[in-house]
Chain A
Amino acid sequence: MALLEVENLRTYFHTRDGIVRAVDGVSFSLDNGETIGVVGESGSGKSVTFYSMLGLIPMPPGRIEGGSAKFDGQEILHAPGPVLQKIRGKRIGMIFQDPMTSLNPYLKISSQLIEPLQIHENMGKTEALKRAIAELERVGIADAAKRVHSYPHEFSGGMRQRVMIAMALITRPEILIADEPTTALDVTVQKQVMDLIRARQKELGTAVVLITHDLAVVSGFCDRVHVMYAGRFVESASSKELFTKPLHAYTKALQASIPAMQKKGEPLFTIPGAPPDLSTEIRGCAFAPRTENHDPAKCPPDRRPEYKEIAPGHWVQDCPCCVQL
């Protein structure tokens, strides 16, 4: 049985302007020690998928409309607050996009680092501090015994993200959810942070979910990649297969948008148009209006394409005009 099994998860936001279908039927599973990537544009629902599972979205306006999510066999959708609190930070750790704002500027690094241990393992301060220093050393912060007593503003962006990683992994969680962990960092630091996550994952055997809009980051890092668009997965395959044999027009377009894939000097490729407004129900294929070979005759506007396993382990939204075998 998989460590995390999500079945047809739907999370809507009930706003004044209507119902925003942020996550509209997402299914996937995650095995022990596995690494998956979830790729998509901003607003495609990647983060909300995982936040809503863990009770981290504001409710209201957010509401989990249906589906199930089983973590280690236990249903966690609609689980009461205290149950989720015991899982968050203990068995599932998270790191976020902006390390500048994700650490509390009013508290010392030390007290933020030891908090998971105090809460989840009832550990005393001195012992927890020892663990915190050891953990800081593991993420490559020199002079950790002294640095641990600093405030976040005394650290640079890359160091803060290291602290976040140390904090998320200090309880040895089974899953690490990394939500755009490198987006706010500059390129040289990005690589260091990804290498660090990889190294810590190997040591601890943690499963990793990498949420990103950057297909290039995912390529060498993940076992399996899910491409998300307008609240649904449009394609999912092993990392290798997705890169060598992308089927969906959106995946292809994302791949074409990687700057390194293009000739130097040529204008960069951008996907025409904008993602659809999720506050009105989408009837046809969500990506059809943005693909060049859109043909209303072939693409029925009144039903959403089915998500099908086309080759073993290769799933795709079967829209006749977006998918070309």
Chain B
Amino acid sequence: MFRFLLNRLLQSIVALIAIISITFFLARAAPGGPFLEEKAIPPHIVKQMEAYYGLDKPLPVQWLTYMGNFIQGDLGPSFGNKGYTVNEVIAQGLPVSLTIGLGGLLIALGIGVPIGIIAAARQNQFADYSLMSLAMMGICLPTFVTGPLLSIYLGIKFGWFNATGWNEPSDWFLPSLTLGVFYAAYIARLSRGGILDILRQDYVRTARAKGVPEWRIMVRHTLRGGLLPVVIYLGPAISGLISGSFIVENIFELPGLGTHFIVATTNRDYTLILGTVAVYAVLILTMNFLVDIAQVYLNPRLRSSTAPEKA
């Protein structure tokens, strides 16, 4: 178990270095630069600025310098947000993205898993068909449709929440709901499929032959294996929820990280691009790491390496 964890940790570190390096060179390969503006800046001033930021040195040297600083946790100054370091920009935007992302996750699990269980328990009956049609709608509707709709109805018409902005504690709900709808729908389908898969297993027949009541078969014999696909999906889901919030942040005018990320790419704000990519990469890698551990915990066959004994 310990070896497995160490192995996965080392893999994650290698992956992180690779992601940052590739992003570094890709960003530089894109045409344009951070100091291009409508009005041409005199060449000698551009030179001075490049020298100040170290952009005049050969690319490999810049890469080494960046990696050196990165390891120490220094992501450098932001070219686009004058006077701010990348660390400061992230420190300000990440909590917002994390809040709505995790809120979205709670909503997705809270809605998706029960729907999946009910649909599986009532397979091919009315409840199953109607819930799964609902899930299909949830998967098909893009956030730029659900977001404004929620904002208009729950925000403006009914006045239950603020339509936009990031001022009150309840402001996380609408963005999270918008984000969570798709994931809830997807998780509902995943859990339904997973549970149905288990319900077809021989050991469920054994449980029935023991006289176990249906609800107990669901809770004790089915859920653990049946929700495994959901657990595996949680890694990509969480990172998607946190990093994919750009559209939602725009709809609800939130000061999150997603907006910074997009603006940074259009402005060729190299350090901020790298900084946000690094944050997202760390998030995704951490989530996958945690999901691996959870999987081993849930599935006893992965847990021990003892070979079956002979009778």
Residue ranges of A at the interface with B (Cβ–Cβ < 8 Å): 54, 56, 81-82, 84-90, 93-94, 96, 98, 101-108, 115-116, 119-120, 151, 153-159, 162, 164, 167-168, 189, 192
Contact = CB atoms under 8 A, between A and B. Distances in A.
B309 A159 contact: yes
A101 B311 contact: no
Given A102-B203, A104-B221, A155 B309 contact: yes
Given A101-B201, A105-B301, A106-B300, A119 B221 contact: no
A56 B225 CA distance: 22
A107 B209 CA distance: 17
Given A96-B205, A103-B203, A106-B224, A151 B301 contact: yes
A3 B203 CA distance: 28
Contacts of B298: 106
Given A106-B225, A159-B309, A119 B211 contact: yes
Interface residues of B, number: 28
B37 interface: no
A98 B208 contact: no
Given A102-B203, A106-B224, A153 B301 contact: yes
21 contacts: A56-B208, A56-B209, A84-B211, A85-B211, A85-B213, A86-B211, A88-B208, A88-B210, A96-B205, A102-B202, A104-B207, A105-B300, A106-B224, A106-B225, A116-B211, A153-B300, A153-B301, A156-B311, A159-B309, A159-B311, A167-B210
A75 B190 CA distance: 41
Interface of B: 201-203, 205-214, 216, 220-221, 224-225, 298-301, 304, 306, 308-311
A119 B210 contact: yes
Contacts, number: 96
Given A105-B301, A106-B299, A119-B212, A96 B206 contact: yes
Q: A-B pairs with the 4 shortest C-beta distances?
A: A158-B311, A89-B211, A89-B210, A101-B202
A151 B302 CA distance: 11
A88 B211 contact: yes
B308 A151 contact: no
Given A85-B211, A93-B209, A116-B210, 14 more contacts: A56-B205, A56-B209, A90-B211, A94-B206, A104-B203, A104-B221, A106-B221, A106-B300, A108-B300, A119-B213, A154-B306, A156-B310, A159-B309, A167-B210
A94 B210 CA distance: 8
B232 to A, nearest CB: 15
A154 B203 contact: no
Contacts of B224: 106-107
B202 A98 contact: yes
Contacts of A154: 304, 306, 308-309
